[in-house]
Chain A
């Protein structure tokens, strides 16, 4: 069973003139980092919201087609209990994801396990591990509301890491993070995939994700248009025609009139342009 499967999915936001997803079909597997990208409005963020059940539950709108998140239809009210604690959704604006009632970062991270009725000792040890994994142990006693954007994002991720979710849905999770924070999240994604979780990330950070993702799906017009390994896709022309971005070096190669396949990394570029 795929961790996430969409079959012929359509989704239209309330009042929107055009659908955000249209005949969208793809699956994401456990143990792999699946990276979604595309031009603005191509549908990657909406696909994650639909997979998490937030669309249409919170956004309103109409969904058609088949969605199976860990085997459940996330739009059904009954799925909330079945998926609770098993799916981690991380958005680019962490402030909207804090519980708002925890007085400290440690409480924030312990919030979901406590709600799920875990034994106290297990909560304590898992919370400590999760805070260590994203290097926020030193913030344990801080008020979450006073954290910087990047610190808040780490706290939000720790609060999900603690649950050992089976499926990660991450929408531009590193946009508020510095280089060290990005590397930390990319390492976390790799480790989670190795642990056996399915990791699905929507991102435009081609330079950051090239070494992380095992599979790339380029969206266009609300559905997957290209599906394959990041290296093969990013070296080609099709990704540009889809309005998505490749790496900085590929962009430079295009501007310099190089014919595809484009060099993708600095090493590739040095090999190509050294006399």
Chain B
């Protein structure tokens, strides 16, 4: 049933004026899937996400987001069903407190005060932002602001979550947190479409790669078949290490790999 497909694009074309960006793009993202949208700078990745969230509309073909054609609709018509995190979250933060910022979406959706409070508290907890609920978003360091914007994108429990460089500017601990959240949401059925240059994040949190080249989809394949198997997409260190140690298939995160390595002999040291 259409309503269950988070994102379907059929033969989509789009141009900024006379500058054509996408031509004949077809793409489907299913519930629970984690898709990394890859491609060189300027290949049209951000444009594709804006088409998916109805911020832009195709010149040709059709975009269907959470079962709704985007034609004649704007992002507000998809509110709740689609969450998105812009590359520069400054563009989407405006409330006076972190709590108000995250509550804004559910308020617009007409949720009851109690439902809003429960959802906002749970989401802030999930992102370890609860202690900052009363802070002004602009008083927070930029990486924390990104997490606030992510909380706002997650709070309504979207079927489709669109992330534009979700880990940019985050430190290693925050990147690990975002990875865990993406995995948890996927397990609950949320589809993820992420534009990212962070192959460490992609390898850890996502499963499928869609590579845009020259205005169209050049490759659509499982991420492990791309990373380290193509000169433009070197394997991130943990994935390469896992492969060389015969641990292929283990999720390439420190959390997943460390327990498998603690039992190994440590050559070159005096410990047992």
Contact = CB atoms under 8 A, between A and B. Distances in A.
Most A CB within 10 A of own CB, among B237, B240, B262, B269 = B237
B108 interface: no
A176 B271 contact: no
Contacts of A147: 42
B237 A180 contact: no
Interface string B153-188: 000000000000100110110000000000000000
A247 B165 contact: no
Residue of B19, B232, B244 most packed against chain A (CB within 10 A): B244
Interface residues of B, number: 44
Given A248-B238, A266-B240, A275 B264 contact: yes
A252 B42 contact: no
Interface string B13-25: 0001001000000
Contact of B169 (A92, A148, A151, A259): A92
Interface string B236-265: 111011001100000000110111011011
Interface string A55-98: 00000000000000000000000000000000000001100000
Nearest to A174: B197
A258 B257 CA distance: 13
A248 B40 contact: no
A252 B257 contact: yes
B72 interface: no
Interface of B: 16, 19, 38, 40-43, 46, 87-88, 141, 143, 165, 168-169, 171-172, 197, 199-200, 232-234, 236-238, 240-241, 244-245, 254-255, 257-259, 261-262, 264-269, 271
Interface of A: 39-41, 92-93, 146-151, 154, 172, 175-182, 204, 207, 245, 247-249, 251-252, 255-259, 265-266, 269-275
